[in-house]
Amino acid sequence: MDCVRRAAAEAILIEDRRTGERRRQPTDALFVFIGADAQTSWLPREVICDERGYICTGRDVTDLVASQNGEWPLERDPFLLETRVPGIFAVGDVRHGSIKRVASGVGEGSMAIAFVHQYFSEQQREAEAMEPRPVGGGSAETLAPARVS
């Protein structure tokens, strides 16, 4: 592909790689998209990726876990950007089904921060629920685990 321009883009020259045919396509703008290969081979096996290597998050995790005879380990569904590993999030181009645009990746990053806070709050509530509490007359010597209803 070539770009024809004077002061701004006017046209692009497109070549069909199979036939070698070239044609001129008028345009006033050009968006360059370089590369779309996920580089995720370094991730642990617990993080599920699709057939092209993109990281599965949210609903895609539960759909793929079921198809691979696995199990999501928590009672709740994964958060939108959460991977197969609770508390691990993926955003941007490396995520399965992402829009592959910088602005989307930035937005997903800020969403992930909110999910991280939510995840940590959840962990804190679970830890507090497991702390021993006084039983009966309130003596500090008689302790029992807290019950969560």
Count of alpha carbons within 13 angstroms of residue 132, beta-carbon side: 10
pLDDT bin (cut points 50, 70, 90) of residue 2 is: low
Instruction: Report the alpha-carbon distance of residue 56 to residue 69 in Å, rounded.
Output: 16
Share of the chain above pLDDT 70, in %: 76
Are residues 114 and 75 both part of a single domain?
Answer: yes
76 vs 64, residue with greater confidence? 76
In a domain, 45, yes or no: no
pLDDT > 70? residue 76: yes
pLDDT > 80? residue 59: yes
In a domain, 49, yes or no: no
Show the domain range for 24. 1-28
Task: Tell me what pLDDT residue 80 has.
Answer: 94
pLDDT bin (cut points 50, 70, 90) of residue 21 is: very high
Are residues 20 and 65 both part of a single domain?
Answer: no
Inter-CA distances, 62 with 44, 48, 90, 109, 118, Å: 18, 10, 15, 22, 19
In a domain, 18, yes or no: yes
List, in sequence order, every residue forming a beta bridge with 55; answer none if it has no partner.
49, 95
pTM (two decimals): 0.63
Task: Tell me what pLDDT residue 98 has.
Answer: 85
- pLDDT tens for residues 90-100? 998 889 988 77
CB 3 within 8 A of CB 16: no
Are residues 68 and 107 both part of a single domain?
Answer: yes
Are residues 15 and 64 both part of a single domain?
Answer: no
Instruction: Report the alpha-carbon distance of residue 110 to residue 92 in Å, rounded.
Output: 11
- pLDDT tens for residues 84-120? 999 999 998 889 988 777 788 888 988 999 999 999 9
Are residues 24 and 64 both part of a single domain?
Answer: no
Are residues 65 and 126 both part of a single domain?
Answer: yes
Are residues 72 and 124 both part of a single domain?
Answer: yes
Are residues 24 and 67 both part of a single domain?
Answer: no
The count of structural domains within the chain is 2
pLDDT bin (cut points 50, 70, 90) of residue 57 is: very high
Mean pLDDT for 42-54 is: 88
Reported in sequence order, the residue ranges of 6-103 that DSSP labels E, i.e. its strands, are 9-15, 22-26
In a domain, 72, yes or no: yes
Are residues 70 and 121 both part of a single domain?
Answer: yes
Residues present in the chain in total: 149
In a domain, 5, yes or no: yes
In a domain, 65, yes or no: yes
Instruction: Report the alpha-carbon distance of residue 90 to residue 84 in Å, rounded.
Output: 10
In a domain, 67, yes or no: yes
pLDDT > 90? residue 140: no
Opening angle at CA 86, ends 108 and 42, nearest 5: 75
In a domain, 1, yes or no: yes
